[in-house]
Structure 1
């Protein structure tokens, strides 16, 4: 106490935008963070490793009575994702539809519905949208065929012409409405998670293994007080895989050097873990559930349809480790309390924007603040287990801050399995 040096290892989810756009977003949100808390946060330029797989930058954060230095690593997968999105449209459509109906007949979609109906609806959405666009194209093709028949065109030629029109109309609609519907992107995501779960993407596994070795090397050499492995969205199960594989490389990983914390945000573990073939992944969840040297914090939000809210990543996969369990600590995040009221009603219907709020700046001071996790002076475990004191450290007056530090330095309270970061009354958040 306090943290002077922190190392963040951010695991990219299935997002094709990659380093350039992520860094611009991060820099913009960092400026908002500085204005909100009236502090100075200076960011360096990204430095890309020789193999291009990791980019890193530094953040120097200065407040009146504390300062931190953060090294931020961005683990990259966008080359794989962009390759997926470059596949022919019809290959993507037929492959994704085939996988979806396999999920239906295997009962996996039903398990999604039972675990979280909102996510199940979301994963079904692109197929409903595809059906709607196909019906519209078929309607135009049907009218066209009847028109050709009416002027005496033979049935064989009119049907072939109508079929060609249907294919052209549907392909054009899919291509030129993508920026509004995200349909092809979501279909590619479905294909990828299926193939990743079934170990049909060896290039992903090979890179994950390299990232696991990188984590081991960082833990051995870093002078940071804590290393936080952050996984957002699909990065949640990728980050879980990286940490579990790192522990196999070095079973004493969390017992020497910096404290290591896994922070998963907006996670969607069942899209991998609910497949029967994913036993290795479930074994990794079991391993992390009982690992005493690692803290795992899982943040979920009801408003985010792209995460499994109120889903236990361990018990939800049928894993029972009894009294040996110590991970994860599951936290409920209320976006209503970190977005200004005048913006919230518009914000709540932008589903991708909501999903990314986990890694964007707050509009209001709150115990959950991604950039305070990255740049603030309080270790992540203490921040999440004593949220009121953590917020007071950066928003209270001198007397309140002194009280807050004493609270944070006191022996830890009994561990809880779930914490609601929105449970505090607003008046309590600045109390000294």
Structure 2
């Protein structure tokens, strides 16, 4: 993010050329038209900004042409450059244009193996996970949750896959669960060079001892909504209620509306800020919702119990927000409140 403007521009051109020549953009549109449009919007906005700057420069050139072609050309180029940089700074910053361009460039470079330091961090994190899981019983650890948002979803899955590759028994000594939110895993898997990411997702999905929940929202255009991160095909959303620990559907995909996580006033305030809405699934909300990131990572119930019901923690709260006395069925599974009694 701190590189020069020219470095950003050169990297963006290289990334776009790669995406077009490799057929990745076409794959995006086949898999998720919404994400394909979001991806192109970044470059369309870039083209609009520099097109406006070039138009201003041309007008200056025409206005000053009477004073000499060389002078008019230099002035026109100066106005074009200054105008483009100004638009990139504002309103480009409002649209998080530089961040979007850098994400696209990083994605191409990473899938092409040009970021070995990130690969090393994934392996190091996988080793850390294995060490914690091996000592879980001695340390009194009930479950290990690996959470990843957006690009981090791919990193989380890759780390767990690396741990499984090194130790196929990983996850049998303590519950290991993955929570992916606003996932862009398909962004890497749909690239022709993304074979290792497809293999990572398949390895995790095939490991019976690993539970995996993916939270998707149609309000989040930055993620791959209704795309299964393993098969890369259409999703099947999980039923309302499953037995806790049931992950035959992997990942177990839950749909949550972002507009149900925050009040209407806050949603309207951020309606045009797609990156802010993209982050809402791991931020605190101001209303009680069917999804709460913090319920999964530090709440009173286990990951499996929360994942088993579409209303998550809300299915076990009384109207005043307190956790109701837990009720178990004959198989020892915690039963949620009837829908009529669930806290609003």
TM-score range, shorter chain: 0.7 to 0.9
Q: Which residue of 2 aligns with 1:289?
A: 205
The alpha-carbon deviation at position 118 of structure 1 amounts to 2.0
Q: Which residue of 1 aligns with 2:37?
A: 121
RMSD: 2.9
1:362–1:426 Cα change, 3 Å: farther
Q: Structure 1-normalised TM-score?
A: 0.69
Is 2:81 the counterpart of 1:167?
A: yes
Q: Helix, strand or coil for the counterpart of 2:342?
A: helix
Is 2:57 the counterpart of 1:141?
A: yes
8 Å CA contact 1:274–1:317 kept in 2: the answer is no
Q: Helix, strand or coil for the counterpart of 2:10?
A: helix
Q: Which residue of 2 aligns with 1:367?
A: 290
* Partner Cα distance (1:203, 1:329) in 2: 31
8 Å CA contact 1:96–1:187 kept in 2: the answer is yes
**Larger mean Cα displacement after TM superposition, 200-209 or 159-168:** 159-168
Q: Which residue of 1 aligns with 2:277?
A: 354
- Cα deviation per residue 1:148-169 (whole Å; 9 max; x = unaligned)? 2123x1x344324422332232
1:399–1:173 Cα change, 3 Å: closer
1:406 counterpart (328, 332, 335): 328
8 Å CA contact 1:303–1:348 kept in 2: the answer is no
Structure 1 segment 5-404 matched on structure 2, within 5 A = 85-151=1-67, 153=68, 155-222=69-136, 223-256=140-173, 258-316=174-232, 326-387=249-310, 390-395=313-318, 401-402=324-325, 404=326
The alpha-carbon deviation at position 284 of structure 1 amounts to 0.9
The alpha-carbon deviation at position 112 of structure 1 amounts to 1.1
Q: Which residue of 2 aligns with 1:427?
A: 340
- Cα deviation per residue 1:265-285 (whole Å; 9 max; x = unaligned)? 000112111111111111111
**Larger mean Cα displacement after TM superposition, 167-176 or 126-135:** 167-176
* Partner Cα distance (1:159, 1:389) in 2: 63
- Cα deviation per residue 1:181-215 (whole Å; 9 max; x = unaligned)? 21111111111000011111111111111111111
The alpha-carbon deviation at position 292 of structure 1 amounts to 0.6
8 Å CA contact 1:137–1:169 kept in 2: the answer is yes
The alpha-carbon deviation at position 389 of structure 1 amounts to 7.8
Q: Helix, strand or coil for the counterpart of 1:305?
A: coil
* Partner Cα distance (2:33, 2:221) in 1: 9
Mark the runs of 5 or more structure 2 residues left unpaired by the alignment: 235-246
Mark the runs of 5 or more structure 1 residues left unpaired by the alignment: 1-84, 319-323, 414-423
* Partner Cα distance (2:5, 2:114) in 1: 21
The alpha-carbon deviation at position 339 of structure 1 amounts to 2.1
Q: Which residue of 2 aligns with 1:54?
A: none
**Structure (1/2) with the larger strand percentage:** 1
The alpha-carbon deviation at position 117 of structure 1 amounts to 2.0
The alpha-carbon deviation at position 176 of structure 1 amounts to 4.5
Q: Helix, strand or coil for the counterpart of 1:330?
A: strand
* Partner Cα distance (1:248, 1:334) in 2: 35
1:159–1:397 Cα change, 3 Å: closer
1:314–1:163 Cα change, 3 Å: same
> For this pair of structures, how many residues does the alignment match?
328
8 Å CA contact 2:148–2:180 kept in 1: the answer is yes
Whose RCO is larger (CA < 8 A, sep 6+)?
A: 1
Q: Structure 2-normalised TM-score?
A: 0.86
Q: Which residue of 2 aligns with 1:45?
A: none
8 Å CA contact 1:290–1:326 kept in 2: the answer is no
1:162–1:215 Cα change, 3 Å: same
